[in-house]
Chain A
């Protein structure tokens, strides 16, 4: 029962919160009502059974709870109108023929650029992902109270700033889709290259990001970048088991045991990429997925470097330039790769910049410079698999390379 209940919760939470937000015009009120309804479900369902259409049951129960709550409030702005809108929802779950799907509006509200990035992430996991506050707090290794406050402030800001609940109109839609995809990729990366806690991969966050991106693909079946991002996540995630050695050290792509790669995830990723490509509107996630697909299929370094060229045309950010430079180096031109790396500005505090530079200097046999770069990277890297990897490289460089 409790397992099934958890499934129902994850599945129905965003649907129900979205419908109630549409009706109430306020995310905080909607969440309170849906929370009340799930609390009632938790009491009743073990005695009765889970209804055939649990979503309809939750929505009507939330409707009734919200009506009770609003009636109890002495002053509520627009009380009569609010009650009238709630009463327009059926009182009996059996009368609710089909639930409208408002989840896409919920995605865009949670990923609105007027909210800070960490707030967008937390809110998306809470409202669209249906994770509980304590689960999100645990995933980001912060106290539950802090996360709860962050979410409360976010919902208040949505109300006081007038952040709309809707799918944005055409003129701003592309920007907002990009913002939503960015939030999902940040969630994935927080799980994949975790910056906190010393574990390399936090599976729960990766799995959640993939689940949410799949939802976005269902809701926007004509958006190639959503499929591109899904493909990228699946292809990166397929290498999860191979990225950590038995000694708990990071293993680079070239040194990974390919038998540990998840072939089902690779196949699914390639299928999603084909679907994105069929829409014939390229974008940064599709090109990055193309690169990840190249690695998965064992493409040679020159082909990979070529794909990085294509990416650089779409994304001129310092990180994209760094990745391109490394690809050039690995395709055989170490000197040119290094000079491209050194031409990238603005990454002095980025640990991967120093690690990449150190690696190229090592390959070029420039020992003392390599050691200094490794030391720089280590300064910026917390304890964990990456650090262990860099420490070993530094000691190897000290032993084998000339000054």
Chain B
């Protein structure tokens, strides 16, 4: 199985497959109560659902 790096050109990936970019450990929220309310400790994953588009 070929391993695709996340910075490879997405046009070279096999079509019709879904891809999830690999998460890298960067930082966590300083304010853990805020993280608790948001639902993740990772600022990268703070993706509020708007019902329409990605944030």
Do A and B make up one complex?
A: no
| Chain B interface (Cβ < 8 Å from any Cβ of A) | none
